[in-house]
Structure 1
């Protein structure tokens, strides 16, 4: 049972002690044959012309969320019934999707697996508690899908305003972007909370920490050590070999690390090595930037994790296809980058 609609108001996620009254409109989720069987036994009438939208499934703090079960989650291998999911977490599971197939029949008896996507109804703080514990990954807030059709013209106007300011260079680019954002906020096309939600604070903290890590490498001489290894192994073969060495080093580091982290670690080392060898540091910077995006060999990238289970991929699948993509990018970069940014 999803909710109860009565004259006194809507009651979503009703508790087990909730008493059903005559005239109540019950929102239920299940197979048609099961609902028909209950209809005959319990003396209820099915409202065939009743239409339900996402807005009807929100009552005050109640919202809809799509979440995915993470690897190592405490929920894996256990059923919703055994977990007493609604009572323990305050959330109602409306649907379960596994490998692209929606499982609606007897969801409470299905053992949960890594990669299962759940459509849940409840309060944001209850969902965030499970997300913070590492049990779930929040994919989408379904309650925020509703489009602000009346604000489309303001979104277009803000984009054109930013475009004109940036192209004419009347103000610096940063000021042009800020002016466009302020126009969106002033016209209520987007609110401040949504802007904060768009910011990936963990990434900002990660970049700040890795800048310190890069400084530590410089202070301890680790950067010179790594550069020395590459120059020692590839220096006799010319600047292109050194460039290829830094490309491969970045590709190796970007598999377990994030793209930004790998670039922040290797970039200062590559630039210093290029300057020491009398080569163009910009060539090395561009090559390292491209190499940092070649995280195709493993499913450790967050975007790969999202499709790993739903797509039923294996670890070896990423290596097979990723090695071909990495080789193709390596060849293209080594051929084109020195043309547009010559080594000398």
Structure 2
């Protein structure tokens, strides 16, 4: 990645290349010069000479003036400036210039922005978010959280106008304005990931050592008691650890419940009846026969079989979610282990790594999709840098999985 990412993943300018080519995750918004602002009477070039903001347009009445012609013009009251910059830069400029942000989307209407009491933040729409497919106005962010939407960024391009009717999708980035309480409530909804704020999120660092000690204790107890009879299992030890952090108030019960990923829980629950259905219908036997026929029969070298199974998992994860692939291949891996005498743990670990280390498409893993919007990446970018990484992981898994999970262990 360090050697080739700069060549394979070039920086892309946004808004048709008008912005600075090295600017990352910039947003476009509109400010209005009010009466009494220190900007009145100053030229555009003078105002922006000592900032990192980029002016895209000066709107004076019904006239739109491009930067090349606006540089020496003196700013007047009610002039509108279309600017690009990072949230911190926009907020700092507004504070110093006493200018007003033109308007934001407050559910169904546009309203004047408030910047003294409010903060700017970026929020990425997460996969499986309840916001998926809904319009910006239909989200009712102001009604529920007191959050106003300033702009939307999709695939590295900003959208300022007509955003009320835009339908948001996973990976979209919202530039929002809210107070501390609103940002916290929106973050706790787990519909978006707040990736950048003007002020850092407050965390309870005082409890951090206790959480670390609890985690180390659970892992150490599981390692020391592994294989012993009459001792708590790893699941029981994990439950004890959760109880400790709840009793010591490192986390509240409602926070713990919100942290549970219902999608993953449902997939895990569905794995049991799905495995039964695959076995009852004989699909596992057909899949095993197909895999063995593809790699050369039951007498094939177990290293080749493991490598082929990892490759199958990685390819499927390129088109399906990693959780779905893991659920689908689990019963097939168990049947394949029984048919060949290979240690089932080796195949299950191959599923874990193959389904979690797929970088060739945004669908391969949730984080792949999350970074697509802020990074301005395309499907082609994932292929250029992700496909070589997939092959690298394939080779590494083929070599190292048998080292830690021997292929001829207890099946």
TM-score range, shorter chain: 0.5 to 0.7
| Structure-2 residue corresponding to 1:316 | 380
* Aligned-partner Cα distance in 1 for 2:259–2:343: 37
| Structure-2 residue corresponding to 1:17 | none
Q: Which residue of 210, 214, 217 maps to 2:271?
A: 210
SS at match of 1:117: strand
| Structure-1 residue corresponding to 2:300 | 238
More displaced 10-residue stretch of structure 1: 140-149 or 186-195:
140-149
Structure with the bigger percentage of helix: 1
Q: Tell whether the 8 Å contact from 1:99 to 1:311 is kept in structure 2 after alignment.
A: no
Q: Which residue of 368, 371, 390 maps to 1:304?
A: 368
1:279-306 Cα offsets, whole Å, 9 max, x none, are: 3333333333322223212111321111
More displaced 10-residue stretch of structure 1: 159-168 or 237-246:
159-168
1:57-103 Cα offsets, whole Å, 9 max, x none, are: 69xxxxx9935398973537xxx7xx897888885426546379998
> Is 2:261 the counterpart of 1:200?
yes
Q: Which residue of 333, 343, 348 maps to 1:285?
A: 348
Alpha-carbon distance, 1:223 to partner: 1.3
**Map of 1:1-344 to 2, 5 A cutoff?**
31=31, 33-34=33-34, 36-37=36-37, 66=123, 68=125, 73-75=133-135, 91-93=146-148, 95-96=150-151, 98=153, 115-121=172-178, 137-140=191-194, 145-152=201-208, 154-156=210-212, 158-159=214-215, 162=218, 165-166=221-222, 169=225, 172-236=233-297, 238-239=300-301, 240-300=303-363, 301-344=365-408
1:127-183 Cα offsets, whole Å, 9 max, x none, are: 69xx9xxxx942249899322344445445545654665566475444443333333
RMSD: 4.8
Q: Which runs of 5+ in 2 are unaligned?
A: 1-28, 41-76, 79-93, 99-114, 226-230
More displaced 10-residue stretch of structure 1: 193-202 or 85-94:
85-94
Count residues in correspondence: 292
Q: Which runs of 5+ in 1 are unaligned?
A: 1-28, 59-63
User: CA, structure 1 residues 47+57, in 2 after alignment: closer, same or farther (shift >3 Å)?
Assistant: closer
Q: Tell whether the 8 Å contact from 1:67 to 1:120 is kept in structure 2 after alignment.
A: no
TM-score (norm 2): 0.55
* Aligned-partner Cα distance in 1 for 2:34–2:155: 24
User: CA, structure 1 residues 276+72, in 2 after alignment: closer, same or farther (shift >3 Å)?
Assistant: closer
Alpha-carbon distance, 1:108 to partner: 6.4
Alpha-carbon distance, 1:119 to partner: 2.0
TM-score (norm 1): 0.65
Higher relative contact order (CA 8 A, sep 6+): 2
User: CA, structure 1 residues 139+47, in 2 after alignment: closer, same or farther (shift >3 Å)?
Assistant: closer
* Aligned-partner Cα distance in 2 for 1:200–1:31: 40
Alpha-carbon distance, 1:116 to partner: 3.0
Q: Tell whether the 8 Å contact from 1:95 to 1:118 is kept in structure 2 after alignment.
A: yes
SS at match of 2:123: strand
* Aligned-partner Cα distance in 1 for 2:162–2:336: 60
Alpha-carbon distance, 1:328 to partner: 1.1
* Aligned-partner Cα distance in 2 for 1:284–1:180: 29
